[in-house]
């Protein structure tokens, strides 16, 4: 009996060993197997390389007959064999012959596509990425396994044969479940917005949910929902980040610096919302590869990692209409076109009327003594447009070419009359830019990127005054050209080293001419800058620690000096739900906007770009450091940031003074100490958030009698709230904004002479405007009209309660009745808007 058991165990063991030996036999490429069979049986196989390259199987037994070997290969690969004669065989694949391999990666829980997953063919240098739908395509170049990786999901490998089916297969990935919270805080303020470990806020317009008052994912309106970012006058052409001016923000579109960011002179973003793919907003701790800003960075990219299928959309609202299309011109190339144009010169909607009243106001002047109102009649002929063109070409598995072009324009014809007097004026504002980018992936650990770019800005105006025959012509032009080389090398899976070089040449021209009395001046300045960059990134596999440290070295050719700018981003887990963030940076900028006179450029766009001369207009420099914490548990999110920021080299002309310092020209600095807090809670379909910001923002101008006083852009306290409901394709959002009024300087007394009326002011910024309060509402709904057609509708109401908020106030002397007039700029009235979008 014992012997029988031993024999049985030996038999089982031998069978298992044989099975393991059979299992351990190496699979080899089918092409190699066919070569072996050809030699063994003195025959020839004819085939197309792409049809068999993906197959790798265990070689058939040598002792088998030719028929047995062919049957075995047919069974393993589903390939077809056709015998031409006894010596020649043709092998072919009757399915998917001309199609590349493809698939979809989906979240196993939500079923939504997983974007930016890495698709890598092992033992080759080929790498690609999934698009916003989770789709990917790879060429038939190898029989090796395909590795799929994403930082938020479990990695795995697939056989290329699994992709060789009529329809792209779908693979459902499981999220990585760790003790620590995920690296990216999902749904920061709204669906499609997230906060990353490097301190930046990332917006994905295609995944965008809804925010109060918005009918589209307008990048510059969206960023104003982030704590610490506000527009002191409700426009997107005057965005203030932690107390800075708008020109201290760097706006990039596909690497092109944009000097014009708004349509309708600040009420509408100049960037087509149908186009953007990823928007990164950085308040502090930006990468060393970005310069020319002492405040925030807004990096807009409309490029994708993969060649996408053809898709288009058309939309219109009560202000403009826009068109977008992405054409797949070949298996490796996309051509993307977009265009938007205002409807304002075709019909005047209620939305357009309110926008016009907001931007072209200050025709109603209230006298402090009599409170009488004087009206100037104005006829406005206005339109705007923006167009873009993008070409993306994959060249082989290692190279990619991108060419992008953008053009933006606002045109205003302005007729003003009082009694029987009529005068015509005009204003044109445009920004044109183009860039070419070449990317090469040398291997799995090294890639290089070359980028050349050009940006041109023109602001032209002709102003005929009502009071005389005087005509004032003004121009402001900026030409910005340069190139950048960037190399990235992965030292290990956790450490990356980046290095690069940038060259930039910027020229600014300002032109002013008056006919009576004749005066003309043209001032042109040019500056060349050379920049060297080094940057290291460390991120542990557990995602507990993230560290990015960089150094940017600027050499200003005209001034002959060198300026170093260190940057740091550090994020550390302090437990399962709490993380700490430390950000710091030193930055500089040579371009800034100034106001010579409040009446310049029709008083609509008063600012003009100017270039530092390292004397009366110094290079601006900033130092900023912040300490933050984020807590996330049970659908609660709490963030707290405390920061200190100091900017030196600012000019009084750049700060928009309308008091005793309006005509003064000197330099100084400002420093801000502040805190930003956000609390957010999700309840399945409903979520809500409340944010609070505190700023203590002080000027220091040594040349002024009052050397230290509150900043013109100081908003001491700001609170925002929103409640958002999302159910299937229906989205509703209600929100409110409140903040303390901006500082103003009140008159103490005034004097009037025949030639020089003069106001005697109190101490600068001694008072504040009334508190600002606004309630906004939005709603959107999406319908599927077919397998590929989607209809989206959205409606919004800005200033739902029609609150009258004073955004700015300044004073002037009325010599007619010897009084001081107060001139107020008021906020937008209750304004509805509606958008309809068809995607196909």
- The pLDDT assigned to 192 comes to 79
pLDDT band at 85 (very low <50, low <70, confident <90, very high): confident
What contacts 11, CB < 8 A, 6 or more positions away?
Answer: none
Check: CB of residue 454 under 8 Å from CB of residue 258. Answer: no
Which residues are bridge partners to 839 per DSSP?
A: 313, 790
- Which domains can be identified in the chain, with CATH numbers? 2-92 (3.55.50.30), 101-173 (2.60.40.1120), 282-839 (2.40.170.20)
Strands 170-173 and 101-107: parallel
Which residues are bridge partners to 143 per DSSP?
A: none
Per-residue model confidence as pLDDT tens digits over 388-441: 999 999 998 789 999 999 999 999 887 766 666 677 888 899 999 999 999 998
**Measured distance CA(296)–CA(284) in Å, rounded:** 7
Say if residue 94's pLDDT is above 70: no
As a whole number, the mean pLDDT across the chain is 86
What average pLDDT score do residues 697-718 get?
Answer: 94
Which residues are bridge partners to 377 per DSSP?
A: 417
Check: CB of residue 791 under 8 Å from CB of residue 766. Answer: no
| CA triple 332-785-169, angle to 5 deg | 45
- The pLDDT assigned to 377 comes to 54
Nearest CA to 678 out of 686, 690, 662 is that of 690
Check: CB of residue 40 under 8 Å from CB of residue 62. Answer: yes
Q: Tokens 């409903």 label which residue?
A: 686
Helix (H) or strand (E) holding 532: strand 519-539
Terminal C-alpha separation, the chain: 76
**SS (HEC) of 89-118:** EEEECCCCCCCCEEEEEEECCCCCECCCCE
pLDDT band at 740 (very low <50, low <70, confident <90, very high): very high
Per-residue model confidence as pLDDT tens digits over 57-81: 888 888 888 888 888 888 887 788 8
Token reading at 670: 């400002």
Q: At what angle do helices 66-77 and 30-41 cross, to 10 degrees?
A: 170
- The pLDDT assigned to 97 comes to 53
Strands 717-727 and 377-395: unpaired
If you write DSSP's letter for every residue of 187-222 in order, what string do you get?
-SSSTTEEE-TTS-EEE-GGG----TT-SS--HHHH
**Measured distance CA(512)–CA(497) in Å, rounded:** 49
Strands 767-768 and 743-744: antiparallel
Say if residue 249's pLDDT is above 70: yes
Say if residue 569's pLDDT is above 50: yes
Strands 591-594 and 608-611: antiparallel
Token reading at 837: 């979008």
Q: Tokens 């990096």 label which residue?
A: 299
Per-residue model confidence as pLDDT tens digits over 161-190: 788 777 788 898 887 654 433 334 457 888
Say if residue 690's pLDDT is above 90: yes
Token reading at 403: 């060419």
Helix (H) or strand (E) holding 751: strand 747-751
Per-residue model confidence as pLDDT tens digits over 285-323: 999 999 999 999 999 999 888 888 898 999 999 999 999
- The pLDDT assigned to 86 comes to 78
Per-residue model confidence as pLDDT tens digits over 13-42: 433 433 433 333 477 888 888 888 888 888
Kindly provide the b/e burial profile for residues 741-765, where b requires at least 16 CB atoms within 10 angstroms of the residue's own CB.
bbbbbbbeebeeeeeeeebebbebb
Among 141-150, 181-190, 376-385, which is the least confidently predicted range? 181-190
**Measured distance CA(468)–CA(677) in Å, rounded:** 53
- The pLDDT assigned to 246 comes to 94
Per-residue model confidence as pLDDT tens digits over 98-122: 567 888 998 887 778 888 888 888 8
Q: Tokens 């807009």 label which residue?
A: 300
């Amino acid at each position: 009996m014992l012997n029988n058991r031993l024999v049985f165990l030996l038999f089982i063991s031998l069978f298992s060993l044989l099975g393991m030996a059979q299992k351990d036999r190496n699979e080899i490429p089918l092409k190699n197997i066919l070569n072996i069979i050809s030699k063994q049986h003195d025959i020839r196989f004819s085939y197309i390389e792409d049809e068999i390259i993906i197959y790798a199987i265990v070689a058939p037994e040598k002792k088998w007959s030719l028929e047995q070997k062919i049957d075995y290969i047919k069974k393993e690969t589903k390939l077809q064999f056709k015998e031409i004669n006894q010596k020649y065989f043709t092998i072919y694949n009757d399915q998917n012959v001309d199609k590349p391999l493809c698939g979809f990666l989906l979240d196993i829980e939500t079923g939504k596509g997983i974007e930016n997953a890495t698709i890598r063919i092992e033992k080759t240098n080929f790498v690609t990425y999934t698009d916003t739908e989770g789709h990917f395509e790879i060429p038939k170049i190898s029989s090796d396994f395909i590795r799929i990786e994403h930082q938020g999901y479990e990695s795995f490998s697939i056989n290329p044969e699994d992709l060789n089916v009529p329809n792209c297969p779908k693979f459902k990935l499981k999220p990585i479940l760790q003790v620590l919270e995920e690296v990216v805080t999902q749904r920061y303020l709204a669906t499609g917005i997230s906060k990353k470990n490097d301190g930046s806020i990332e917006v994905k317009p295609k995944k965008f949910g809804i925010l109060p008052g918005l009918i589209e994912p307008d990048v510059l309106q969206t960023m104003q929902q982030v704590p610490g970012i506000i527009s002191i006058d409700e426009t997107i052409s005057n965005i203030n980040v932690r107390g800075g001016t708008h020109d201290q923000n760097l706006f990039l579109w596909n690497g092109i610096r944009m000097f014009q960011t708004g349509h309708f002179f600040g009420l509408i973003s100049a960037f087509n919302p149908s186009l953007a793919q990823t928007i990164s907003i950085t308040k502090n701790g930006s990468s060393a590869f970005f310069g020319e800003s002492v405040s925030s960075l807004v990096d807009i990219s409309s490029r994708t990692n993969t060649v996408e299928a053809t898709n288009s959309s058309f939309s219109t609202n009560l202000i403009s209409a826009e068109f977008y299309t992405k054409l797949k011109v070949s298996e490796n190339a996309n051509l993307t076109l977009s265009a938007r144009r205002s409807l304002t010169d075709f019909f005047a909607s209620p939305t357009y009327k309110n926008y016009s009243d907001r931007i072209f106001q200050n025709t109603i002047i209230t006298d402090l003594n009599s409170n009488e109102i004087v009206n100037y009649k104005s006829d406005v002929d206005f339109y705007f447009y923006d167009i873009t063109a993008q070409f993306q070409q994959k060249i082989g598995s290692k190279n990619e070419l991108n060419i992008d072009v953008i053009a933006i324009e606002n045109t205003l014809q302005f007729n003003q009359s009082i009694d029987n007097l009529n005068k015509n004026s005009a204003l044109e504002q445009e920004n044109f830019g183009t860039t070419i980018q070449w990317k090469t992936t040398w291997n799995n650990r090294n890639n290089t990127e070359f980028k050349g770019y050009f940006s041109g800005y023109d602001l032209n105006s002709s102003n005929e005054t009502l009071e005389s025959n005087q005509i004032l012509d003004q121009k402001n032009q900026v030409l910005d050209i340069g190139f950048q080389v960037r190399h990235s090398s992965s030292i290990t899976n956790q450490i990356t080293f980046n290095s690069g070089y940038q060259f930039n040449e910027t020229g600014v021209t300002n032109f002013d001419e008056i006919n009576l009395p004749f005066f003309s001046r043209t001032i042109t300045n040019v500056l060349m800058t050379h920049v060297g960059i080094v940057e290291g990134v460390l991120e542990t596999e557990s995602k507990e620690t993230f560290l990015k440290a960089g150094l940017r070295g600027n050499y200003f050719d005209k001034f002959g000096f060198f300026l170093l700018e260190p940057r740091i981003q550090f994020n550390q887990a302090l437990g399962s739900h709490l993380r700490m963030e430390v950000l710091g940076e030193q930055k500089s900028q040579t371009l800034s906007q100034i106001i010579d006179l409040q009446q310049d450029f029709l008083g609509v766009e008063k600012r003009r770009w100017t270039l530092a001369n390292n004397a009366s207009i110094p290079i601006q420099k900033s130092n900023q450091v912040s300490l933050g914490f984020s807590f996330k548990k049970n659908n609660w999110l709490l963030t707290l940031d405390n920061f200190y920021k100091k900017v030196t080299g600012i000019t009084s002309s750049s700060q928009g003074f309308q008091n005793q310092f309006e005509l003064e020209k000197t330099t100084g600095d400002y420093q801000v100490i502040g805190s930003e807090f956000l609390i957010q809670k999700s309840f399945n379909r409903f979520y809500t958030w409340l944010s609070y910001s505190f700023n203590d923002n002080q000027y220091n101008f040594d040349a002024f009698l009052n050397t230290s006083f509150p900043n013109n852009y100081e908003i001491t306290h700001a609170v925002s709230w929103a409640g958002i409901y999302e159910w299937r394709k229906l989205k509703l959002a209600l929100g409110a904004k409140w903040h303390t009024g901006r500082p103003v300087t009140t008159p103490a007394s005034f004097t009037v002479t025949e030639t020089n009326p003069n106001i005697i002011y109190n101490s600068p910024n001694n008072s504040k405007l009334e508190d600002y309060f606004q309630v906004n509402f939005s709603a959107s709904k999406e319908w599927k009209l077919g397998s590929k057609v989607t209809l989206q509708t959205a409606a919004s109401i800005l200033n739902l309660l029609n609150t009258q908020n004073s955004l700015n106030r300044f004073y002037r002397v009325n010599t007619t009745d010897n009084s001081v007039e107060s001139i107020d700029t008021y906020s937008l009235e209750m304004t509805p808007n509606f958008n309809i979008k068809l995607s196909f």
